[in-house]
Structure 1
Amino acid sequence: MIKSLFFMVGLFTLVLFASCGSNKGLQERSPAQFNQVYYSYNSDGIELTIPVASIQDERVSLDAVYFHGMKSDLNKNAEKPNLYVANFRMGSGDMVMDKDPAKEYGNKPPQMPEKSPFDIDEDEAILVFTQDDEIKYYKLTGIVEKD
């Protein structure tokens, strides 16, 4: 009887620690208030757009994002400061192919795949941000495609 009790307690503890470890580092609270996050395809690949309703610029910095098996830096839109954009090069687009390698100089290679530190679905992304000099992660969900 006591052996089975110890076995059950041990099993419960193992399951508890295993489930906590899968989301280690993933923040529950959003670093900012976001509007609908969307992506679109362009001639170079995928452009992920993250509209921010409000953010504490002095404490939070949005740095990068994992999406569709790739990682890209986030850039603030120059015209609209509340818009962050990540570009993922997929190698589609016009490339110069010539026997003279100097003429191919301007070609951009496709972006290499980079696995996300967390499991995500097709309509999700992992946002990498810095808050109070500490790197943190937040899962963006419900990402839609726009034309």
Structure 2
Amino acid sequence: MKSYSIIVVLILVGCASKETLQTQFPNPIADYFYKVEGNQTHFLIEFQQPLPEDIKLKKLYFRNQTAAIKMISRQKAEAVFIKPDLILDVNPENEYGNQPPIPPKQRFQLNSTEAVLEFIQKGKIKHYKFTNVPEKSNK
């Protein structure tokens, strides 16, 4: 009988650990986009109103990468994703310092135009999903 109760507890704990994505962000978002500058991708989020004190932005998951969020102002946040520089040469010996790509473990199943924002509101970790993220040029 104890083994059945242990199995039930494990199933409940496993089901409880699934993360749910918020359908609306608690503060209105005016715009979001990304732009590529060299080996860096800048993901910007602009809010219609200043972000309340009880909301802390933590991470952004985008295109198989994770980056910390930095507040540029009270209404603008940015995450910067950096691709490592690779040495490409006709002579393979000159490419010696390149590191082989290590695919990271995926926390969320996202396509190339989706991103997930991790934030803390009133002490609870929450996630909000961006869809159809546009790219803006630097011009």
Q: Structure 2 length normalisation: TM-score?
A: 0.67
Q: 2 CA distance for matches of 1:124 and 1:51?
A: 17
Is 1:45 the counterpart of 2:40? The answer is yes
Tell me what 2:84 maps to. 91
Q: Structure 1 length normalisation: TM-score?
A: 0.64
Q: 1:136 aligns with which of 117, 126, 133?
A: 126
CA-to-aligned-CA distance 1:83-113 (integer Å, 9 cap, x gap): 101000102499xxxxxxxxxxxxxx9x975
- After the TM superposition, list the runs of 4 or more consecutive aligned residues in structure 1 that deviate by more than 3 angstroms: 111-116
What does 1:1-147 correspond to in 2, within 5 Å? 24-77=19-72, 80-92=73-85, 114-147=104-137
Over 3 Å counting, the alpha-carbon distance change for 1:86 and 1:144 in structure 2 is same
Q: Give the total of aligned pairs.
A: 111
Tell me what 2:90 maps to. none
Q: 1 CA distance for matches of 2:130 and 2:70?
A: 17
Q: 2 CA distance for matches of 1:36 and 1:93?
A: 33
SS, match of residue 54 in structure 1: coil
Q: 2 CA distance for matches of 1:144 and 1:41?
A: 11
Shift of 1:24: 3.5
Q: Which runs of 5+ in 2 are unaligned?
A: 1-14, 88-98
Among the aligned pairs, what percent are the same residue?
Answer: 25
Aligned-residue RMSD, C-alpha:
2.9
Shift of 1:73: 0.4
Does the Cα contact within 8 Å between 1:44 and 1:93 map onto a contact in 2? no
SS, match of residue 37 in structure 1: strand
Query: Larger Rg: 1 or 2?
Result: 1
Over 3 Å counting, the alpha-carbon distance change for 1:25 and 1:46 in structure 2 is same
Does the Cα contact within 8 Å between 1:43 and 1:92 map onto a contact in 2? no
